[in-house]
Amino acid sequence: MARYADPRLREWLAAEYVLGTLRGRARARFQSLLKYDAALRGVVAEWESCLTPMAAATAEIEPPARLWRRIAARIGAQPPRSRWWTSLALWRTLAATGLTAVLALGVYVGNLPRPEPPIAMVAVMSDDKARPAMVVSWPQLKDARDPHIRVHIVQDHPTMAPDTSWQLWVLPGGKAAPIPLAVVGIEPIQHIRLERSLRKNVWQAWGIALSVEPKGGSPTGAPTGPVIFKGQCVRVM
Amino acid sequence: MTDDPLRSGSRAPDAAAARLAALLGQCALGNQAAFAELYRATAPKLFGVAVRILRREDWAEDVLQECYVSVWSHAADYAVAKIAPLTWMVSIVRNRCLDWLRRPHLESGGEEYDIVAESWAAEAPGPMEQLLAAADAGALARCFAHLDSKQRQSIALAFFHGLSHSELAAHLKEPLGTVKTWVRRGLERLRNCLSAETA
């Protein structure tokens, strides 16, 4: 393995790998190295950025229609990926792309398992580094008999300081004061019953924020501690 | 790299790349409609890439099917790839094609070589000429033009047609060692030129 430490060799192997001239066992060996060597993957990625754009000069060839049918069958045959949104990797990945989390929302709706009512509004809340930290969503509230809001913590390692609570707030928009919504825990998925009196506020919310409060929630009815997550509401239905 | 010609195929390259990136993001979330659009937008290019390397449309279909299934299930990985979306997809296709060609019964035969020689000769204009002629291909085309003709030809044959060193040597009627040197020097020069261009 020691020979793979030589930076010139690594550079050259990566280049030939991307070009396609690294063949046979050398290629297989290089691929197995790649699995464990992130830095080497980086070198490969640089060469891909360098060489692969040449493919733009390749003439396009329309594939036969059956190809799409075969692919669609393969995709459709997959069992529905239930609870896919519990994948933290997915949310982290979205954050890493710089794709706005809002982009995700259009499809957030369509993938819910049957028992849950469809989401009507959602707020993807980010931390101070603009990474998605929490997703709060709720269904149509008008006709719901027993409406709940759904809290999904997508942060890496949520931690709550001892003797504190996390409190959610409805931000009505403009200069209106935040309205206390609920105290939440740090479990990844939580369903919180929505007080009847809050329905209208929630339905018209501009955004949702989460502040750190003394145990049990803000004593004053207004946020007293730092706001650690916040995000704008998006109506998706 | 703003000069990435994969992104400059349309008049609004960044918009096209952003659209593909957005579609990949939606695929990561299981949106099949987005996947269908992604397929329509990329399949002709990717099929072209695969057919050239594999030289058989039925193989190219098989490989492309696996590639799209893989793109669908690993769309979330695109985010960490840090390259243009089409570049990412082309890399997947090229790697699968090269893996396909590695299958033992394909590597031994000299039969392939003849097909290659023919298809290369019959090509008018070849991808290399297209690359050099493309006004908007940017830094890559400029750097490619700076290579010696032998280096350029070896790299183009390897890249577009998936030729191995020994196939290159046979095709160009040069010793293996010479061809290897052309490829290596060519890659080095290309890389140095590109980093100078984008610095």
Domain that holds residue A120: 84-235
Domain identity same for B156 and B199: yes
Look at chain A and report how many structural domains it folds into.
2
Strands A148-153 and A189-193 come out as antiparallel
pLDDT exceeds 80 at position A194: yes
* Domain's final residue, options B55, B86, B108: B108
Give chain A's mean pLDDT. Answer: 79
Task: Tell me the C-alpha to C-alpha distance, in Å, between residue B197 and each of A142, B142, B191.
Answer: 59, 9, 10
B51/A57 touch (CB, cutoff 8 Å), yes or no: no
CB contacts, 8 Å: A81 with chain B: 30
Domain identity same for A207 and A137: yes
- Reading the block at residue B133, the tokens are 């002629």
Domain identity same for A228 and A184: yes
Domain identity same for B193 and B96: no
**pLDDT at position B7:** 41
Domain identity same for A91 and A204: yes
In this structure, are residues A141 and A147 in contact, taking their beta carbons and an 8 Å threshold?
yes
Q: Is residue A173 part of a domain?
A: yes
* Domain's final residue, options B108, B141, B162: B108
Mutate to test the interface with B, among A27, A71, A105 (most CBs of B within 10 A): A71
Domain identity same for B61 and B10: yes
**pLDDT at position B69:** 94
Query: Region A116-136: what's the mean pLDDT?
Result: 80
- Domain of residue B29, CATH code: 1.10.1740.10
pLDDT tens track for B73-116: 888 888 766 778 998 999 999 999 988 887 655 543 444 444 44
Task: Give the closest-approach CA distance of A74 to chain B in angstroms.
Answer: 7
Mutate to test the interface with A, among B187, B188, B189 (most CBs of A within 10 A): B187
Domain identity same for A127 and A220: yes
Residue A115 C-beta-side C-alpha neighbours within 13 Å: 2
Given a cut of 70, the residues of chain B with pLDDT beneath it are 1-13, 80-81, 103-137, 199
Domain identity same for A37 and A104: no
Task: Classify A11 as helix, strand or coil.
Answer: helix
Q: Is residue A127 part of a domain?
A: yes
Q: Is residue A146 part of a domain?
A: yes
**pLDDT at position A116:** 60
- Domain of residue B157, CATH code: 1.10.10.10
Q: Is residue A73 part of a domain?
A: no
pLDDT tens track for A1-28: 456 678 888 999 999 999 999 988 888 8
Look at chain B and report how many structural domains it folds into.
2
What ipTM, to 2 d.p.?
Answer: 0.78
**pLDDT at position A44:** 92
Residue A79 C-beta-side C-alpha neighbours within 13 Å: 4
Domain identity same for A11 and A117: no
Domain identity same for A95 and A137: yes
CA distance A30 to B59: 24
- Domain of residue A212, CATH code: 2.60.40
* pTM for this model (two decimals): 0.56
Q: Is residue A135 part of a domain?
A: yes
pLDDT tens track for A36-71: 888 999 999 889 888 888 887 788 899 999 999 999
The closest alpha carbon to A40, from A15, A70, A76, A72, belongs to A15
Domain that holds residue B27: 1-108
First to last CA, chain A: 56
**pLDDT at position B43:** 95
Domain identity same for A198 and A140: yes
